[in-house]
Structure 1
Amino acid sequence: MYIRLARFLALHARSILVFWVLVVVASALVATTGFGNPLWNRLISDVPQATPSESHTGQKLLESHYTKSYGVLAYVQGVDFRAEFKSAESTAQQLRDLKEQAENHGAQAKTLGDQAKAAGGEAQRLGLEAQQAGARGDIAKAGILAGQAQSAARRAQDLAGQAQSAGGQALVLGNKAKALSQPDWPVARSLHEALAPIEAELKNIPQVKSVAYPFVEYNAMLDPQARELAAKNRQGFVVAVSLDLTDGGQPGKYPSEKMLKVVRHTEGILGKVQAAVAKHVPDNAKAAPLRVRITDQNLVNKAGIQTLKDDLVRSESIGIPVSFLVMAIVFGGFLAALLPLGSAGVAISMSLALMLGMTYIFEQQSFAVNVISVLGLGLSIDYGLLIVSRFREELARLNSLPQSEWSPDFSAIKKPKTVARLQHLDQRHLRALEITVATAGRTTFFSALTVAIAASGMLFFRAELLKSLGIAGFSVVLLAMIAAITLVSSLMFLFAAKLERPSILARIPGLRWVVRRAAVDTVGDGTAMVSSDSLGASPVASRTSLESSLDSGKPTRKSLFDRVAHGVARRPWLSFILSAAVLVAACLPLSYLPLRNSLFDLLPIHNQQRLLYEDLAQEVPRVGLPPLRVVAKNTPPEKLDKWMATHVADLKGVAHVFAANPLGDTKDSAAIVQLETTDPGSRAAEDVVKAVRAQAHDFERFVVGQAANQIDFIDSLVEGLPWVLTVLVAITIFLLFMMSGSVVIPIQALVINTLSLMATLGISTLVFVDGIGVGWLGAKQLPGLESYVIVMLMCFGFGLSMDYELFLLSRMKEVWDETASAKRSVIEGLSRSGRIVTSAATILVFVFLCFVTGNMIVLKQVGFILAVAVAFDATIVRMVLVPSVMALFGRANWWAPGPLRRWHNKVSEKLGHLE
């Protein structure tokens, strides 16, 4: 199969090159233009959520009502109205007192009036009865009744006087309240005069439902709801505009293209606030330089995506030149270094086009583009390095042998025309390509399959973010593999003659030694997965200097990896203890690793939208992103207020409970809870969420906010973890068993890879959480690692570690099959694969570290963690720990039960027929 593929690539090399060029151009056009709606415009920059979950359901309920209430805020700072705000609070209290007194006097006047009316009626009744008694001649009774009537009339007159007096008091209080409600506030009046024209202009927009700020009227601060729009320091306030975007868009989050014009128009009008305030506010009221900042979900999303764009440009502008330079040194030439970059272009462009299509199915996070880019570049270079190095090695080896020992065999081909076309090709170049595809190509296939399946483990989690990353990772890895095997192989065959020529780098005196020592094709590349005999290669001719020295007993010049291999083989226990101790020590910080799902603190620390929301959360909590909110379905605000006062207000960690508000025209309502902690994702915030959720309730309610989402997201990870572990374990056992025929080696790999990943997390905890060296990464100490970054490490990191496991094990397996010597398989396997593993890992670490140069915090975490994982795996693990463990196990490494071994041998024989 592999030989047939190699021959197809050789016969159609130019056509394959043209095909891939057209594919890259078409994919790039689709991703960048999107037929009018390019990829970046369809991405979101939002906090990841577990779906379904309590926090997600509550958030969706809120957003369904926010469709008619898309908020655009302008935060005005630098106006000092502290004295007037204090006066407003005092006056408002006086007005409440006067209102209460006036109401009491009014009620008293009404009561007295009713009593006077009743007494007057009684006087009339008694007077009538007195007249009737006089008419009957009952003078005595008539006199008594007349006296009672006069008494009732006087009482009615007195009560009427008291009622009039009480009414007069109520009127006096009312007039006093009216006078108090017209205070002399020059700053408030100037702000009202400044903003009234802007308010009118905003209200001319049909979609504007309301405009709120503390100076809608010059005395509006007497209203407690208006005062909630003022900053705590009384030197700033918010202008809040509510838009009705029911024409389209995602409810409450991302407006449609049509509504986006309305949002931008609104933002433009609010941009006039600063000039208007500066013109009208007196100089003595300007506490600091006047500053107006505008925000809404569209601007936040735009800020996140722009940051990711800038990070992508920065990382690629660094990663590609550095990778090219390293590959030029490793390959000893520029042409060979360019070949893997071609496959990177294929993988990245096609993956982005595929991602654009996925945006029409479900939401795609914007930073997935960066993940696709760095994985596509890194793995394309990784696989290209294997294939190109093996091809150049085979060209050099075949050149030293007579053609009779390696001439391609076309006897199995039935079509004479095909044979004639193949014979017309350069036979040595063709044979080198056949061997390369059958060895390095096959290893690339299995390695990519391992990484892709590991990445697909993210599909078992409920979070759409992880599903998105899983699909993106799966696709870019497979595309990198396909492009490496087809495009790179075709280019190698087309430029084989040039690849054999000495590079200009080898002619530079200062670089000659470096190129000679770094070139990977001077030794084996770790890609052999079939015996050399089955490929027509000479075992003697392909031996390394180490192998020859082992046979002859004569000393020879040893490379670094030769010396490491001998050292590990001589002292396996010491090597095992030291390498394992380093990894275990690195794991210790895991005992206090906090996980979180950050919101605005994912943006760069200097990002204006992040700083604005931090200021709003601190100074104007009513309009800032609430740290915790209780959403009640089919529950009026009054009932929710009562429940909140009874069950939530006195909970530990709760600073204040705001009055509940109705959600639109429905029976639903929501209440904001202000926490004592300033970190909405802290353990203290999580404790409050758990406490609120534990309270008894007789209505459907949802607790939402960063801490609530954090709890639900981590719970969803725990829920999906068994499935992911099952996939990863199954991959490891199956592929390594098929690779080695052993059941011991897969178990070793599982334990060692797990230890390596835990050590990576421990180092990352020291850096990001403890702050050791975090300044060198251009970041600051963080309260925790992002939970989904851990999942990315588990899937991508595990896949990459298996990648290098296959490289190392393939060489060990080859030597074991040839010699049946456990010691030689360890020494020669490490010696043959060490340089290729180190070179590939070095480039991959450089590529991952390019993430760290960006500004987005989560990308810094991803880049650093994956770089550390690869560095650990390619050095301590593959160079020391794995060989030492295998040296200690000896022949037991290759043990398998009889039935499994027979089945493996049968399958291997079938796969070994490459023609």
Structure 2
Amino acid sequence: MADVFVQIGRIVAHRPRLTVSVWLVLVVLGYGFAVVGVHGENLFDRLTTGAPEVPGSQSAQGRAILDDADESGASLTLALQGVDPADADVATAMEPVRAELAAIDGVVAVIDPLGLPGGATNPAAAPLVANDGDGFLVVVELDPDLTDAEQADALTAVHTRLNQVPEDLQDAAPGVTGLVGGTALIIDAITEQVETDLRTGEAIALPIALIIMVFVFGGFLAASMPMAGAIASIAGGLASLLGFSYWIDLDSSVVNIVTVLGLGLSIDYGLLMVSRFREELHKLVDEDDGRSSRRRRGDGAVLTAIEHTMATAGRTVTFSALTVAISIAGLLVFEPPILRAFGLAGVAVIVVAVLSALTLMPALLALAGRRLIRPSILDRVPGLRTVLARTADVQTEEGVFSRLTGRVQRRPWWVLGGTLVLLGVLAVPLAHLELRNSTTELLPAGSTQREFVELLASDYTAASTPAVTVVAQSSLEEATAWAATLEELDGVDSVDAPTPVGSYVTIGVRPASDDPGDATSRQVVQEIRDLDAPFPTWVVGQAAAQIDFTDAVVARAPFAVAIVALATFVLLFLMTGSVVVPVKALVTSALSLAASLGVMVWVFQDGHLTGLLDFTPTGGIETYVVVLVIAFGFGLAMDYEVFLLSRIKELVDAGVPNDDAVRLGMQRSGRIITSAALIVIVVFAGFVAGKLLVIKEVGFSLAFAVLIDATIVRLLLVPATMTVLGARNWWAPRFLSRLHERLGIIH
């Protein structure tokens, strides 16, 4: 298989300018399509948002019934505060406001308590008046038959006019304030936050990553190459996501999370390729006898170095990409569409990253040639020269990583036991994990739309949506009689009067809790579903959708784990010829993930580091975030496992004893693994600086997962384990050894 990579490297090295030009065109087109869009609609215009659900589940069926029965159009609501709805001057000031809103094209109704007969004293006005009487709601409904363009224009006009209402009422109610909210505005707020967070993350991550690579390589030229690959991967990834948006619904969080993955992997792969090329070119140059020989070999040395790089690092990159892709493809096993979207988009971005590493990187290496091993201009800076001498990649077989591994190998059992205890302690908080499916709680605390939703829930109880809603296929009389049994359930605070909705009836159930997704709300949902109702019922709401989503994930999780574990085992066996190494890799990665998830629970569920990370806890972890951290975290762990094993296996195949191979392999790959991990941590940490909670959870958790894997696991646990196992690391039954001789993928 190495011949394939050599051939690719040879083709690209002979046509570097053409290859770079093709990639440049693809990058421009990728960013152009994603940002400008097709037919005036860009990627961010096509994103969706909302609580994740499972098609065919009880909550999804109930929600579909309500959506089909709802014949109303879009609406916006203005919540006024600091105003007395019974004030006659306020009623007078509202008359022209009401008329102007009604005159906007597409508006079919303007509803407020002052426009009803008798004003705020009318019983029908109660849901529109604040609980303390110090405010009221103005609801503007649109024609349901409007086209998308007409609806967008109408919403913009209504939003603009509603924002002006507090100023119109200043003379009648000095100090009045208002918040405008609605489903359309919530979706826009989340989508805009995604776009803002993406720019923020890239602005933080890319410059810091470049600085790190300057210290790794000792110069700007070598450091810029992985960055070029990262930019190409982002462009390709965004273009891929735009294409997927015409096929499947893409949640707003997909863009940031998948882009972060592609950015991190492409830098990893570029780092490995450039480092190996410099190592190979150094060997060839050192073998030359003199300056004239170097001139005579010229581009031949560069071409040979590229071929060796592709046969080794190119193979490793491909293996790494396969292991990460396998892990993320496991998401396709799950039923919820949001997880499948992450799986498809993630695999697409990985493909772009590996294509960039195998084509763009060799082209850039060919163009740079011997300049990559010449002293950098930074070496002329006295103080900086000393630092770069310690941090830039070197050719010595002894160094920090070999000495650290040597210490581990002198006491492998102590290191093994200590790391297992440490990982176990970090995993302890995982025991009280609470899963959530949040909605507006994901927005930052200062978000207008989050404030609006919280205001409705606290000040307009009668107008707020019940945490639990029962959809009943029955007559109003039957539903009313049965509703009395709901009031007797544990955890139920009150039950709203049944309301006809088309041919169905809805019953609002309000749990004795302010949290629509906590244990009390989930208990109420389960108790209602356990009742033997005399007619078909469907329970909907945040808690109901949360239960259905979690059940769907748990039901498919064993299949996903089995498929990913088996595929990873087979791939690592084909790479190493061992059955012990793949099992060891799976176990150590599982321990690393458990520790990472434990820290995630401690931070985001238990509410530690809220000030540092600037977030408001929701009382749990988003269900799909847990699945994503497991899938992506496992893939990244395998990424570094492949980096390390490829070098150790090279040495073992060359006849180096196991312990020496582990020590030398750690020295040769430790610098790259540590540098790559540091860059990935920076990339993920850059997105923690964003405001959307789900992005914070994923970014922080994956950054910590990489930190644990690159330090505790990769530098301590793996060499200790491989030292304890000794030559047994490479054991396999005879029939599998014969199979590996025929099918194994070797250098």
Q: Is the contact made by 1:774 and 1:780 (CA closer than 8 Å) also made in structure 2? A: yes
Deviates more, 1:435-444 or 1:819-828: 819-828
Match of 2:353 among 480, 492, 495: 480
| Alpha-carbon separation, structure 2, partners of 1:686 and 1:793 | 24
In the other structure, the counterpart of 1:588 is: 428
Where do 1:272-287 residues align within 5 Å?
272-281=164-173
Q: Secondary structure at the match of 2:287?
A: coil
Q: Is the contact made by 1:596 and 1:785 (CA closer than 8 Å) also made in structure 2? A: yes
Taking a change above 3 Å as real, the CA distance of residues 297 and 347 of structure 1, as seen in their structure-2 partners, is: same
Match of 1:353 among 239, 256, 269: 239
Residues 726-768 of structure 1, C-alpha deviations (whole Å, 9 max, x = no match): 2210122111111211111111111111111000011111112
In the other structure, the counterpart of 1:243 is: 142
| Alpha-carbon separation, structure 2, partners of 1:426 and 1:820 | 32
Q: Is the contact made by 2:397 and 2:667 (CA closer than 8 Å) also made in structure 1? A: no
In the other structure, the counterpart of 2:163 is: 271
Q: Secondary structure at the match of 2:69?
A: helix
In the other structure, the counterpart of 2:607 is: 771
* AA aligned opposite 2:25: L
Deviation at 1:659, TM superposition (A): 2.0
Q: Is the contact made by 2:110 and 2:141 (CA closer than 8 Å) also made in structure 1? A: yes
In the other structure, the counterpart of 2:463 is: 623
In the other structure, the counterpart of 1:324 is: 210
| Alpha-carbon separation, structure 1, partners of 2:741 and 2:357 | 29
Deviates more, 1:579-588 or 1:687-696: 687-696
| Alpha-carbon separation, structure 2, partners of 1:827 and 1:263 | 65
Where do 1:728-807 residues align within 5 Å?
728-807=564-643
In the other structure, the counterpart of 1:659 is: 497
Match of 1:855 among 691, 702, 705: 691
Match of 2:5 among 2, 5, 25: 2
Q: Is the contact made by 2:593 and 2:630 (CA closer than 8 Å) also made in structure 1? A: yes
| Alpha-carbon separation, structure 2, partners of 1:403 and 1:14 | 31
Q: Is the contact made by 1:647 and 1:695 (CA closer than 8 Å) also made in structure 2? A: no
Q: Is the contact made by 1:637 and 1:670 (CA closer than 8 Å) also made in structure 2? A: no
Q: Does 2:529 correspond to 1:703?
A: no
Taking a change above 3 Å as real, the CA distance of residues 58 and 425 of structure 1, as seen in their structure-2 partners, is: farther
Deviation at 1:625, TM superposition (A): 4.1
Q: Is the contact made by 1:352 and 1:372 (CA closer than 8 Å) also made in structure 2? A: no
Taking a change above 3 Å as real, the CA distance of residues 715 and 351 of structure 1, as seen in their structure-2 partners, is: same
Where do 1:446-457 residues align within 5 Å?
446-457=319-330
Q: Does 2:735 correspond to 1:895?
A: no
Deviation at 1:874, TM superposition (A): 0.6
In the other structure, the counterpart of 1:131 is: none
| Alpha-carbon separation, structure 2, partners of 1:614 and 1:860 | 21
Deviates more, 1:190-199 or 1:564-573: 190-199
Q: Is the contact made by 1:52 and 1:462 (CA closer than 8 Å) also made in structure 2? A: no
- What RMSD over aligned residues (CA atoms) do the two structures have, in Å? 2.0
Residues 393-420 of structure 1, C-alpha deviations (whole Å, 9 max, x = no match): 111111111489xx9xxxxxxxxxxxxx
In the other structure, the counterpart of 1:385 is: 271
* AA aligned opposite 1:263: L
Q: Is the contact made by 2:397 and 2:668 (CA closer than 8 Å) also made in structure 1? A: no
Deviation at 1:594, TM superposition (A): 0.9
* AA aligned opposite 1:747: V
In the other structure, the counterpart of 1:715 is: 551
* AA aligned opposite 2:717: L
Taking a change above 3 Å as real, the CA distance of residues 352 and 77 of structure 1, as seen in their structure-2 partners, is: same
| Alpha-carbon separation, structure 2, partners of 1:626 and 1:14 | 63
Residues 639-665 of structure 1, C-alpha deviations (whole Å, 9 max, x = no match): 323322x221222222222223332xx
In the other structure, the counterpart of 2:149 is: 257
Deviation at 1:486, TM superposition (A): 0.5
In the other structure, the counterpart of 2:486 is: 648
Q: Secondary structure at the match of 2:589?
A: helix
In the other structure, the counterpart of 1:364 is: 250
| Alpha-carbon separation, structure 2, partners of 1:598 and 1:429 | 54
* AA aligned opposite 2:200: R
Q: Is the contact made by 1:391 and 1:432 (CA closer than 8 Å) also made in structure 2? A: yes
| Alpha-carbon separation, structure 1, partners of 2:410 and 2:608 | 36
Where do 1:172-211 residues align within 5 Å?
187-205=86-104, 207-211=106-110
* AA aligned opposite 2:407: G
* AA aligned opposite 2:158: T
* AA aligned opposite 2:61: T
Taking a change above 3 Å as real, the CA distance of residues 690 and 403 of structure 1, as seen in their structure-2 partners, is: farther
Q: Secondary structure at the match of 2:247?
A: coil
Q: Does 2:69 correspond to 1:65?
A: yes
Deviation at 1:819, TM superposition (A): 2.6
* AA aligned opposite 2:494: H
Where do 1:129-168 residues align within 5 Å?
none
* AA aligned opposite 2:160: G
In the other structure, the counterpart of 2:438 is: 598
Residues 796-840 of structure 1, C-alpha deviations (whole Å, 9 max, x = no match): 110110011111111221222223522222222222221111111
Q: Is the contact made by 1:348 and 1:372 (CA closer than 8 Å) also made in structure 2? A: no
In the other structure, the counterpart of 1:879 is: 715
| Alpha-carbon separation, structure 1, partners of 2:89 and 2:510 | 32
Q: Secondary structure at the match of 1:228?
A: helix
Q: Is the contact made by 2:434 and 2:621 (CA closer than 8 Å) also made in structure 1? A: yes
| Alpha-carbon separation, structure 1, partners of 2:210 and 2:695 | 22
Residues 459-507 of structure 1, C-alpha deviations (whole Å, 9 max, x = no match): 1112221111111111111101110111011011111132122112222
| Alpha-carbon separation, structure 2, partners of 1:889 and 1:758 | 23
Query: Higher Cα Rg: structure 1 or 2?
Result: 1
Match of 1:545 among 392, 397, 408: 397
| Alpha-carbon separation, structure 2, partners of 1:801 and 1:821 | 25
Q: Does 2:340 correspond to 1:467?
A: yes
In the other structure, the counterpart of 1:75 is: 79
Structure 1 alignment gaps of length 5 or more:
82-186, 249-255, 408-422, 524-543, 547-558
Q: Secondary structure at the match of 2:531?
A: coil
Where do 1:659-678 residues align within 5 Å?
659-663=497-501, 666-678=502-514
Where do 1:802-821 residues align within 5 Å?
802-819=638-655, 821=657
TM (norm. structure 1) is 0.78
Q: Is the contact made by 1:67 and 1:244 (CA closer than 8 Å) also made in structure 2? A: no
Deviates more, 1:302-311 or 1:260-269: 260-269
* AA aligned opposite 2:217: F
Structure 2 alignment gaps of length 5 or more:
none
Q: Is the contact made by 1:449 and 1:478 (CA closer than 8 Å) also made in structure 2? A: no
Q: Is the contact made by 2:116 and 2:125 (CA closer than 8 Å) also made in structure 1? A: no
In the other structure, the counterpart of 1:442 is: 315
Q: Is the contact made by 1:293 and 1:612 (CA closer than 8 Å) also made in structure 2? A: yes
| Alpha-carbon separation, structure 2, partners of 1:206 and 1:504 | 65
Q: Is the contact made by 2:106 and 2:150 (CA closer than 8 Å) also made in structure 1? A: no
In the other structure, the counterpart of 1:639 is: 478
| Alpha-carbon separation, structure 1, partners of 2:384 and 2:247 | 52
Q: Is the contact made by 2:302 and 2:369 (CA closer than 8 Å) also made in structure 1? A: yes
Q: Which has the higher contact order (CA 8 A, sep 6+)?
A: 2
Deviation at 1:899, TM superposition (A): 0.7
* AA aligned opposite 2:31: A
* AA aligned opposite 2:163: G
Residues 63-120 of structure 1, C-alpha deviations (whole Å, 9 max, x = no match): 2233524231110110246xxxxxxxxxxxxxxxxxxxxxxxxxxxxxxxxxxxxxxx
| Alpha-carbon separation, structure 1, partners of 2:525 and 2:383 | 64
| Alpha-carbon separation, structure 1, partners of 2:442 and 2:236 | 28
| Alpha-carbon separation, structure 2, partners of 1:218 and 1:245 | 26
Deviates more, 1:206-215 or 1:850-859: 206-215
Where do 1:214-233 residues align within 5 Å?
214-217=113-116, 219-233=118-132
TM (norm. structure 2) is 0.95
Taking a change above 3 Å as real, the CA distance of residues 370 and 869 of structure 1, as seen in their structure-2 partners, is: same
Q: Secondary structure at the match of 1:260?
A: helix
